[in-house]
């Protein structure tokens, strides 16, 4: 397969000013006629060929300026990549002269299982064009720097598909012959083709409106298949909040008269920001207390906001090429994170984001797929919709704000929009706008875009001089080598630091941002009245690992007193990591696990019984770091079973030591719920209470005693909503008792008619700890409700299993061969999904030798598979190199 390189970027030979599309939708054949109004790029030579991308298209006709072209040297041809070539000698020499290229192609959405381009999902047709799906609809310059004005006409059966949608404003509609109807649309904003969308279906909708700051009324409409329409209200509420927030925080107003969203069952991504017509995976839009957890509600609001925010960061200002993906994704994730922080608890959101970063992005940065947030090369662009581009990308944007202040960041954003509205630009353009708006030097900051790997910031020493009243810290940085990038240079790292009184726990000085630029630097704090305890990397001010030797007592002190909510939580995580690591080392050496340190148990008990902290923060503070996060803290090669057992040992130890308090707090919360009449509520305190109560139940279940089994069954039976019921299921999932099976059956009975509930039912079983989980997963894949072609169900079974670290790494290699078999099968249908699972096998070098060899053998099996897709092959090649 061919690799594309960032530095090879060249502007296109031609521009496409206008696109007129006509879709004639019939069962098994959709005919697409396209008229492209083009002109030559002045920078390209006269006589250059026009080469249009196309994939899986049946070409019917090509016309140039209304004249039919024949295939051959005097007409059109195809190059070795099957692209359509219009001979340059036929095209105007004058770059100002417009010409029209008209193609007619046939496509078959019903057989498009890749879910890229135009495809059928259930009873509806819909599109997904990012990154390179538009070429699967018609011949085009399928690259984001080609921005065009679009008109679209679509015709289909009126009775089967009463709803016809595309980007922009509908300009006409009516009946056509043979019981068909049509609609046409005009989008007044030039856009890259990846933002094109078309939906044809039997849909129902809810609608509302939003008046923008300048007084324009926007019609908002959200569509789904009829049976889901009652679950769209939360999405509408979220959309309005997002629209208002973007006006208030960034001065960005919506720019069309309509904003439509459509929910689809079969979707590779979470959602897609097509101009004025977002398409959403049902999992990220449908909400009801019976089907969605509180976390689902929060996620839906975040993703609705994310896609809406793309209208400015992505659509109005887009990417010049796909290497710049983080320009829109990192920035838009940052914006949705800020929005969610404003909508609920800022500290809780920050903790959730960092848990995700550490469990998903840090491993990516430490594995064979490590890449900078702006990758240097790719084979399949779809492989680069990664946690690095998105989540680390968002952290890089956040660092601009930390370095420049909120005010300075806003100035940079304003300049970015003023300079680049309507353009396709680069990450360097964004950095230049930030630097210029603040007259700040951000040259070294570019390295965040150039280097892969998670930097390590080490506090080499921290000392206090009472005579000078000075506190001094020496800080160094290094970034581990990553594939293809042995040498790393120092980064510009903002380290938000506070000093606390050891006596009172109060702040001795307000937080300040230290700017680490060299390999090692000394920072001196003056006028410090007493020896302080330092709180470093507050609010996780840079995406780094912090190495800072502290005693368990100091960490327990920070857990109790740090005035930075994030670092108070972080101190608990650090302490827990030390304890789990210690247990892991003992188990790995064949020794018995050590007793839990008293200071750790008491600190945990203190959090458990506290009554003066936010219950969501309390929940996160009681939770131990997950296995994926812990892997990064342990020297490779990892023994996954010892790691799992070490973490379980610590969990159990805490629960045994605090059993009485756990039950008391749980009962108190249960009584509170009962006192309110057992009514389901979605306000923040109710969510936080539910979160804590559900987490306590899952904690207690680690003991697997009959009392907790009974409690879990009761919790399930009396649960007010999905959050309660699914927590009870998780509590029982690891306990081999008849009650477990009964509750699983009951849940199935309540869920079998709802695809999203079924996904939860699948996932809880695939994540179980029970010894026969591999066999269960194989059975689940044969279950009548499982669908290999539906990405949500595939993720619910295979994705959840591959993330089940203990069983994926089962000693006999059965987990690896299961995942490899699935990859081979799925790759034939949907390479984007298959390649995501291949990433799990690619991490073989980090695992102990026996398992490592088995994982590698499965990767080799994939390598030797005939007709493996480029997507999966890219992961396999990188994994094996």
What positions carry a catalytic annotation?
A: 307
Tell me which residue has tokens 């900051």: 445
Q: Which does 132 bind (CB under 5 to 8 A by kind): Zn ion, ligand BAL, none?
A: none
Q: Which does 272 bind (CB under 5 to 8 A by kind): Zn ion, ligand BAL, none?
A: ligand BAL
Q: Which does 336 bind (CB under 5 to 8 A by kind): ligand BAL, Zn ion, none?
A: none
Burial of 370 (0-12, 13-18, 19+ CB in 10 A): buried
Region 591-610 residues binding ligand BAL, contact defined as CB under 6 A: none
Nearer to ligand BAL, 337 or 805 (CB): 337
In the complex, the smallest distance separating the C-beta of residue 837 from Zn ion, rounded to whole angstroms, is: 22
Site string for ligand BAL, 73-112 (x = CB under 6 A): ----------------------------------------
Nearer to Zn ion, 329 or 564 (CB): 329
Segment interacting with ligand BAL, rule: CB under 6 A, options 302-310, 392-400, 715-723, 758-766: 302-310
Does the footprint of ligand BAL cover residue 836 (CB under 6 A)? no
Tell me which residue has tokens 């020493």: 461
Does the footprint of ligand BAL cover residue 319 (CB under 6 A)? no
Structure tokens at 151: 């008109």
For residues 28-64, b (16+ Cβ closer than 10 Å) or e, as one string?
eebbbbbbbbbbbbeebeeeebbbbbbbbbeeeebbb
Nearer to ligand BAL, 252 or 647 (CB): 252
Nearer to Zn ion, 184 or 426 (CB): 426
In the complex, the smallest distance separating the C-beta of residue 373 from ligand BAL, rounded to whole angstroms, is: 14
Structure tokens at 823: 């990859």
Nearer to Zn ion, 13 or 336 (CB): 336
Q: At 622, which helix (H) or strand (E)?
A: helix 615-622
Residue from 102, 130, 336, 364 in contact with ligand BAL (CB under 6 A): 130
In the complex, the smallest distance separating the C-beta of residue 447 from Zn ion, rounded to whole angstroms, is: 24
Nearer to ligand BAL, 130 or 827 (CB): 130
* CA–CA gap between residue 880 and residue 866 (Å, rounded): 17
In the complex, the smallest distance separating the C-beta of residue 310 from Zn ion, rounded to whole angstroms, is: 6
* CA–CA gap between residue 351 and residue 621 (Å, rounded): 10
Which of 778, 347, 721, 282 is closest to 539 using CA atoms? 347
In the complex, the smallest distance separating the C-beta of residue 371 from ligand BAL, rounded to whole angstroms, is: 17
Does the footprint of ligand BAL cover residue 391 (CB under 6 A)? no
Does the footprint of ligand BAL cover residue 273 (CB under 6 A)? yes
Region 131-170 residues binding ligand BAL, contact defined as CB under 6 A: none
Long-range CB contact pairs, 583-590, < 8 A, 24+: 583/646, 583/649, 583/650, 584/630, 584/634, 584/642, 584/643, 584/646, 587/639, 587/642, 587/645, 587/646, 587/649, 588/639, 588/642
In the complex, the smallest distance separating the C-beta of residue 315 from ligand BAL, rounded to whole angstroms, is: 10
Q: Do β-strands 117-121 and 29-40 pair in parallel, antiparallel, or remain unpaired?
A: unpaired
Which of 699, 565, 545 is closest to 631 using CA atoms? 545
In the complex, the smallest distance separating the C-beta of residue 415 from ligand BAL, rounded to whole angstroms, is: 24
* CA–CA gap between residue 57 and residue 447 (Å, rounded): 41
C-alpha separations of 190 from 83, 95, 326, 422, 427 in Å: 24, 20, 21, 7, 21
Q: Which does 754 bind (CB under 5 to 8 A by kind): Zn ion, ligand BAL, none?
A: none
Is residue 357 within 8 A of residue 436, CB to CB? The reply is no
DSSP alpha helix (H) spans, 795-830? 800-802, 805-808, 814-829
In the complex, the smallest distance separating the C-beta of residue 273 from Zn ion, rounded to whole angstroms, is: 6
Contacting positions for Zn ion (CB under 5 A): 329, 332
Region 241-270 residues binding ligand BAL, contact defined as CB under 6 A: 269
Nearer to ligand BAL, 329 or 565 (CB): 329
Region 437-466 residues binding ligand BAL, contact defined as CB under 6 A: none
Region 704-763 residues binding ligand BAL, contact defined as CB under 6 A: none
Tell me which residue has tokens 């983080």: 326
C-alpha separations of 313 from 262, 293, 420, 430, 786 in Å: 21, 29, 11, 11, 37
Residue from 307, 338, 364, 565 in contact with ligand BAL (CB under 6 A): 307
Nearer to Zn ion, 319 or 731 (CB): 319
* CA–CA gap between residue 422 and residue 145 (Å, rounded): 11
Task: List 499's β-bridge partners, or say none.
Answer: 509, 534
* CA–CA gap between residue 437 and residue 424 (Å, rounded): 20
In the complex, the smallest distance separating the C-beta of residue 273 from ligand BAL, rounded to whole angstroms, is: 5
Nearer to Zn ion, 188 or 270 (CB): 270
Q: Do β-strands 470-478 and 456-465 pair in parallel, antiparallel, or remain unpaired?
A: antiparallel
In the complex, the smallest distance separating the C-beta of residue 466 from Zn ion, rounded to whole angstroms, is: 52
Tell me which residue has tokens 């420049």: 404
CA trace torsion 582, 583, 585, 588 (10° rounding): 180
Nearer to ligand BAL, 262 or 646 (CB): 262
Nearer to Zn ion, 104 or 311 (CB): 311
* CA–CA gap between residue 175 and residue 163 (Å, rounded): 13
Helix axes 773-782, 755-766, angle to 10 degrees: 160
Nearer to ligand BAL, 307 or 874 (CB): 307
For 272, residues 6+ apart whose C-beta sits below 8 A from its C-beta are 128, 130, 197, 278, 279, 280, 307
In the complex, the smallest distance separating the C-beta of residue 389 from Zn ion, rounded to whole angstroms, is: 10
Q: Which does 269 bind (CB under 5 to 8 A by kind): Zn ion, ligand BAL, none?
A: ligand BAL
Does the footprint of ligand BAL cover residue 306 (CB under 6 A)? yes
Q: Which does 130 bind (CB under 5 to 8 A by kind): ligand BAL, Zn ion, none?
A: ligand BAL
In the complex, the smallest distance separating the C-beta of residue 307 from ligand BAL, rounded to whole angstroms, is: 5
Segment interacting with ligand BAL, rule: CB under 6 A, options 176-184, 234-242, 304-312, 339-347: 304-312
Structure tokens at 825: 């099968």
Residues in the chain: 881
Is residue 236 within 8 A of residue 280, CB to CB? The reply is no
Nearer to ligand BAL, 305 or 766 (CB): 305
Task: List 153's β-bridge partners, or say none.
Answer: 22, 184
In the complex, the smallest distance separating the C-beta of residue 330 from ligand BAL, rounded to whole angstroms, is: 10
How many residues interact with ligand BAL (rule CB under 6 A)?
9
* CA–CA gap between residue 850 and residue 876 (Å, rounded): 20
Q: Which does 570 bind (CB under 5 to 8 A by kind): ligand BAL, Zn ion, none?
A: none
Site string for ligand BAL, 325-344 (x = CB under 6 A): ----x---------------
Q: Which does 350 bind (CB under 5 to 8 A by kind): Zn ion, ligand BAL, none?
A: none
Structure tokens at 658: 């605090």
Residue from 38, 272, 528, 743 in contact with ligand BAL (CB under 6 A): 272
Q: Residue numbers of the site for ligand BAL (CB under 6 A)?
A: 130, 269, 271-273, 306-307, 310, 329
């Amino acid at each position: 397969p061919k690799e594309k390189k960032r530095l090879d970027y060249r502007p296109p030979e031609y521009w496409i000013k206008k696109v007129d599309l006509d879709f004639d939708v019939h069962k098994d054949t959709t005919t697409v006629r396209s008229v492209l109004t083009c002109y030559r790029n002045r920078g390209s030579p006269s006589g250059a060929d026009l080469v249009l991308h196309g994939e899986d298209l049946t070409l019917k006709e090509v016309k140039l300026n209304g004249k039919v072209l024949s295939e051959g040297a005097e007409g059109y041809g195809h190059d070795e990549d099957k692209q359509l070539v219009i001979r340059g000698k036929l095209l105007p020499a004058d770059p100002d002269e417009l010409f029209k290229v008209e193609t007619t192609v046939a496509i078959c959405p019903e057989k498009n299982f890749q879910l890229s381009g135009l495809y059928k999902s259930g009873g509806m047709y819909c599109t997904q064009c990012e990154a390179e799906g538009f070429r699967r609809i018609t011949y085009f310059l399928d690259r984001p720097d080609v921005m065009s004005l679009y008109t679209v006409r679509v015709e289909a059966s009126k009775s089967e598909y009463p709803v016809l949608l595309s980007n922009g404003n509908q300009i006409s509609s009516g009946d056509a012959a043979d019981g068909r109807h049509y609609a046409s649309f005009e989008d007044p904003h030039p856009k890259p083709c990846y933002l094109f969308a078309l939906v044809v279906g039997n849909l129902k909708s809810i609608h509302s409106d939003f008046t923008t700051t300048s007084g324009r009324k926007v019609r908002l409409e959200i569509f789904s298949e009829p049976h889901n329409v009652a679950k769209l209200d939360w999405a509408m509420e979220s959309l309005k909040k997002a629209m208002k927030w973007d006006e208030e925080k960034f001065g960005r107003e919506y720019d069309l008269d309509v904003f439509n969203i459509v929910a689809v069952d079969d979707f590779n991504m979470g959602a897609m920001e097509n101009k004025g017509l977002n398409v959403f995976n049902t999992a990220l839009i449908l909400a009801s207390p019976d089907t969605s957890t509180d976390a689902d509600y929060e996620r839906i609001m975040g993703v609705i906001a994310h896609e809406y925010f793309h209208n400015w960061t992505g659509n109005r200002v887009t990417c010049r090429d796909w290497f710049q993906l983080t320009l829109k994704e990192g920035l838009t994730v940052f914006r949705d994170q800020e929005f969610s922080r404003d909508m609920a608890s800022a500290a809780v959101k920050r903790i959730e984001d960092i848990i995700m970063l550490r469990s998903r992005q840090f491993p990516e940065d430490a594995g064979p797929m490590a890449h900078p947030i702006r990758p240097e090369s790719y084979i399949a662009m779809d492989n680069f919709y990664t946690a690095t581009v998105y989540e680390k990308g968002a952290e890089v944007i956040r660092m601009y704000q930390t370095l420049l202040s909120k005010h300075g960041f806003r100035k940079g954003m304003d300049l970015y929009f003023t300079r680049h509205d309507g353009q396709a630009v680069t990450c360097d353009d964004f950095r230049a706008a930030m630097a210029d708006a603040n007259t700040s030097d951000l040259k070294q900051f570019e390295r965040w875009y150039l280097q892969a790997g998670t930097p390590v910031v080490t506090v080499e020493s921290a000392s206090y001089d009472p005579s000078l009243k000075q506190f001094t810290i020496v800080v160094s940085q290094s970034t581990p080598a990553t594939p293809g990038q042995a040498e790393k240079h120092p980064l510009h790292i903002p380290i938000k630091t506070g000093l606390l009184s050891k006596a009172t726990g109060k702040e001795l000085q307000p937080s300040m941002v230290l700017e680490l630029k060299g390999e090692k630097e000394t920072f001196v704090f003056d006028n410090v009245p007493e020896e302080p305890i330092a709180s470093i990397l507050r609010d996780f001010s840079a995406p780094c690992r912090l190495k800072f030797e502290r005693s368990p007592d100091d960490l327990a002190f920070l857990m109790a007193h740090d005035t930075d909510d994030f670092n108070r939580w972080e101190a608990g995580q650090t302490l827990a990591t030390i304890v789990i690591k210690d247990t892991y080392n003992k188990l790995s050496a064949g020794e018995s696990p050590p007793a839990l340190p008293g200071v750790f148990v008491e600190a945990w008990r203190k959090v458990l019984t506290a009554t003066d902290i936010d219950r969501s923060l309390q929940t996160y503070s009681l939770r131990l770091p997950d296995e994926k996060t812990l892997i990064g803290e342990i020297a490779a090669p990892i023994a996954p079973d010892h790691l799992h057992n070490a973490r379980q040992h610590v969990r159990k130890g805490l629960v045994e030591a605090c059993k009485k308090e756990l039950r008391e707090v749980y009962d108190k919360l249960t009584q509170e719920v009962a006192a309110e009449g057992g009514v389901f509520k979605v306000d923040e305190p109710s969510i936080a209470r539910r979160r804590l109560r559900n987490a306590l139940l899952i904690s207690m279940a680690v003991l697997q005693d009959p009392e907790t089994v009974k409690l879990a069954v009761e919790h399930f039976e009396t649960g007010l909503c999905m959050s309660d019921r699914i927590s009870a299921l998780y509590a029982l999932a690891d306990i081999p008792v008849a009650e477990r099976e009964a509750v699983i059956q009951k849940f199935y009975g309540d869920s079998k008619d709802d695809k999203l509930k079924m996904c939860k039912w699948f996932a809880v079983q695939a994540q179980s700890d029970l010894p026969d989980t591999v066999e269960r997963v194989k059975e689940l894949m044969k279950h009548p409700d499982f669908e290999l072609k539906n990405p949500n169900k595939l993720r619910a079974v295979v994705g959840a299993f591959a993330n089940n670290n203990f069983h994926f790494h089962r000693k006999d290699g059965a987990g690896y061969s299961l995942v490899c078999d699935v990859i081979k099968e799925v790759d034939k249908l949907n390479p984007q999904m298959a390649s995501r699972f291949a990433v799990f096998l690619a991490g073989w070098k980090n695992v102990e030798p026996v398992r490592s060899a088995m994982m590698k053998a499965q990767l080799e099996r994939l390598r030797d598979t005939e007709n493996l897709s480029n997507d999966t092959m890219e992961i396999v090649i990188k994994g094996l190199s």
